[in-house]
Chains A and B, each alone.
Chain A
Amino acid sequence: MTIAEAPVTPETLPVPEQAAEGATRQQGLAMICYSGDLEKTWAAMILASTAGAMGMPTKVFVTFWGLQTFVKPEKRITGENWMQKMMSMMSRPGIAHRKLSKMNFLGMGPWMMRKLAKQYNVSSPAELMEMAQLMGVEFIPCQMTMDMFGIKREDLIDGMGDPVGAATYLGFVADGASPIFI
């Protein structure tokens, strides 16, 4: 029987390259952490830490309101000019000061969320972020957001990657990493 006459069965079909064993694992995840809302930050940190635990190479591009989350906890005011400083006064940066997008009620909502999380043994976003970093997840700040908000490298938590732009992020996707936008 020649190759042309061979019956077409799932076994004889060529295996697409993407379906190769471990392919997704090798190419990993390229997350965008865009939101600074508590609930979305939480989801992003759960996924980032779990991806680290799954051994998936993971990069998280941190941009716009997401960058506020990565300002050092002790930093109260960021920015160089009055408008940038005012922005950080209106919404305190740092992972411990995220607000809910709905039902914030002057901090009552987040307080209840944290209380419930403790009661049900759900780790806080800060703990999950630390775990993710320990397991090799790389958080990469957006240069443009840093410029616009006047956030300096030393304002950001330790262990972050070099500030880059959108092209670097898209390069990760072009190389096969799966994009996730939160």
Chain B
Amino acid sequence: MADQQVDARGLNCPMPIVRTAQAVKALASGQTVEVLATDPGSVKDFAAWSKTTGNEMIEQTSDGGVFRFVLKKK
């Protein structure tokens, strides 16, 4: 179970990333956030965000048009 959830379903670029960044800000190092998004662009966007910020992507799944990412704060 992740420490924080972000429901970005229905939101368009760049809000899934922006909301996630805000949620991660409130976390301590090593804590995780689970993000749900429906924006197909978010798959590549979250990979880029994870690489640039150093917050590791530990899980990535998709189910019926909903993308789920679990990220661990650096």
Contacts and interface: CB of A to CB of B under 8 A. Distances in A.
Co-complex (A, B): yes
Interface of A: 22, 25, 46, 49-50, 52-56, 120-123, 128, 131, 134-135
Contacts of A123: 11-12, 14-15
Contacts of B10: 121
B14 A53 contact: yes
Contact of B53 (A49, A54, A128, A131): A54
22 contacts: A22-B54, A46-B13, A46-B14, A49-B18, A50-B18, A52-B21, A53-B17, A53-B22, A54-B17, A54-B21, A55-B21, A55-B52, A56-B52, A120-B12, A121-B10, A121-B12, A121-B15, A122-B12, A123-B12, A128-B14, A131-B18, A135-B21
A25 B18 contact: no
Chain B at the A interface: SS class: helix
Contacts of A52: 18, 21
Contact of A121 (B11, B17, B20, B21): B11
Return the 4 tightest CB-CB contacts between A and B, nearest first.
A53-B21, A50-B14, A122-B12, A53-B18
A129 to B, nearest CB: 12
A135 B12 contact: no
Interface in B10-41: 10-15, 17-18, 20-22
A54 B49 contact: yes
Contacts of A22: 54
B71 to A, nearest CB: 12
Nearest to B17: A53
